[in-house]
Amino acid sequence: FWYQKKQMWNKALTSSQKPKKSVNVSLDFIGAKEVFSKRKTDHKARRTLFGQCFQQLKNVDPDMFKVGVNVRAFRANYVGMGSIDAGGPYRDALENMCKELQSPALPLFMKCPNGRLEMGENRNTFVPRPSSTSAFHLTLYKFVGKLFGLAMRSKSLLSLDLPSIVWKPLVSDVVLDTDVQAIDRVSWKASEAIKEHEEKVENKSMEISIFDSTMRQFKFEVPGSDGKLKELIPNGKTVSLQWSNRKLYMEKLREFRLHEFDLHLQAVRSGLAQVVPITFLSLFTWRELEAQVAGYGMTDKQIDLLEKMTSYEGGVKKDDPHIKLFWRMIRERFNNEQRVRFLVFVWGRSRLPLTEDDFEKKFTISAHHSGANPDAFFPIAHTCFFSVELPKYSTLDIMTQKVLWAMNNCSSIDADGGPMGQRPVGPTDSDDELETLFE
C-alpha cells in the first residue's frame, strides 16, 4: 500500500512544483553562535540562524519552497566567512537551524518531560513549548511547517527528534493516551494512582472518606509539559479532588494533556499546507510523515545504503585495505551519534536520503596525498561535494582516532580560514532583549 501512496504523493508534488526562484539569504553565523555562548534565548527571532532566515523569508511567496528533489530553496551566504554556496552552507544552515529549534536558543521546542527526568521512553524527543502561544510565536511555528514541507519536497531531511504527539495532528490522526504517556510517564503515574483508588472504592475495599482524604493533595491544577501549573477549571488551584468530582477531574486532565499542543501544531500544519498538498497527508501514518521530514537517523540499514551509494576516485578501490577499515570503523566502532557527526563532517547534514533515487550525488572517497606516512595525517572533508580524502591508515585504531579528531575539530564551513567580507554592523538586539530559557 505504501508504494501506491508514494506514487500518488510524488505525482501531487510534481504537479504543484514551481520554478526555482533566485533567493539569497545572508546569515551571521558568528552572531548566531553568540546566542549559545551567552546562554540566551532569541525570543524576537533575529539572532539565531532560524530567526535570521525567518526574518528574510517571512514575506516571500511560499511558492519558493515548492522546489524539486535535491533543489535548494535559497542560497545561503555566511557573512564574513569564506563560503561559496555550492550546497554546503545551505545544508549547514538547515542543520544548525534544527539544533537551534531543539535548544533553549529558541522558545519553540523543549525536551519532553521524560527526557528532562531521564525516565520512560522517547527521552531524546522534543515537544512544543506550551507557553509559546503568542501571535508571533505561532508565526514562527508556521515557518517551521514551511521547513517541513521543504524537506518533503527536496528530500533534504531535517535533523529533528519529535514524538508521535507532534506528528499525529499533522496527518489528522487522533492523539491517544499512549501518546501522552510516551512523553510524560510521571503525570500518567498520577492518573493511574487515582484510578487505582477509584477501583478500591468501587469494590468496597476503601471508604469514600478515605479516598477524599488521600486525594485531597490533588488540585484542579496540574503541571504541563513545561512543569508550569495549569488550572483545569476556573480557580482550579483552590478545588481539591474528591470522590464527587473525580469524573470531572479525570475528564479535564485527559482533555488538557491530549490537546496541550493543539495551537502550536495547527500553526505548523498551516505552514505545511502552504508548501505541500495538505489533503494528501491524511493518507500517511504519522511514522510515514516522520520519515519524509526527518528520516531515520543512521541505522545499520542506512549505513548499507550509504555504502551502496559510495564511489571511489583517485586510484582508490572498494577492496583497498584502508577502505575495508573505513566501513568497519563506521559499523563497529562508531555509535549512532558518531555516525551522524561523520555525516555532518562530510556533507553538512545529519540525515541520509531515504532511497537511492533521493540522493543528489554519491558519497565519494578519494585519495589523500599524505606522502610516506599516512598515519600522521587527518582526513579532509568537502561538504559541498559530499566527499572525503582518506589517508591509507595502517590500523583500525589509528583510523578511528584520526577521523574522530577531524569530526570533532574541523566542522567549520569557512573555506579558507579568512574573511571574505565583514559582519554587518547595523542595529542589533541588546542582551537584555534576549531572555534566557537555558537552565
Contact (CB, 8 A) for 183 and 100: no
Please indicate whether the domains covering 2-174+261-294 and 300-409 agree at the CATH topology level: no
What pTM does this model have? 0.81
Give the orientation angle of helix 88-101 with respect to helix 135-154, to 10 degrees: 140
Of residues 53, 98, 112, 384, which has the active-site annotation?
Answer: 384
Helix (H) / strand (E) containing 367 = strand 363-367
Q: Which residue has the higher pLDDT, 98 or 85?
A: 98
Among 3.40.470.10, 3.40.50.410, 3.90.1750.10, 3.40.50.300, name the CATH number for the domain at 2-174+261-294: 3.90.1750.10
For residues 273 and 303, give the distance between their C-alpha atoms in angstroms, rounded to a whole number: 33
384 is catalytic: yes
State pLDDT tens for residues 387-402: 999 999 999 999 999 9
Q: Judge whether 201 and 208 are in contact, CB under 8 Å.
A: yes
Distance of alpha carbon 250 from its chain centroid, rounded? 33
* H or E element at residue 312: strand 310-313
Cell representation of residue 261 = 499542543
Tell me which of 78 and 168 has the higher pLDDT: 168
For the sheet with 380-382, list strands across it: 310-313, 363-367, 387-390, 380-382
Once rounded to an integer, what is the mean pLDDT over residues 404-433? 51
Supply the CATH classification number for the domain 300-409.
3.30.2410.10
The amino acid at 290: E
Q: What is the residue whose three cell numbers read 533543489?
A: 71
Helix axes 29-37, 88-101, angle to 10 degrees: 20
Are 267 and 142 in contact by the 8 Å Cβ rule? The answer is: yes
Q: Which three cell numbers stand for residue 168?
A: 499525529
% helix / strand / coil in the chain, to the nearest 5? 50, 10, 40
Model confidence over 307-340: pLDDT tens digits?
Answer: 999 999 999 999 999 999 999 999 999 988 899 8
Q: Which of 154, 179, 174 is nearest to 292 (CA)?
A: 154
So where are the chain's domains?
2-174+261-294, 185-258, 300-409
Question: Mean pLDDT across the chain, nearest whole number?
Answer: 89
Lowest-pLDDT range, 8-17, 261-270, 366-375, 387-396?
366-375
Count other Cβ atoms within 10 Å, centred on residue 195: 12
Contact between 159 and 194 (Cβ < 8 Å)? no
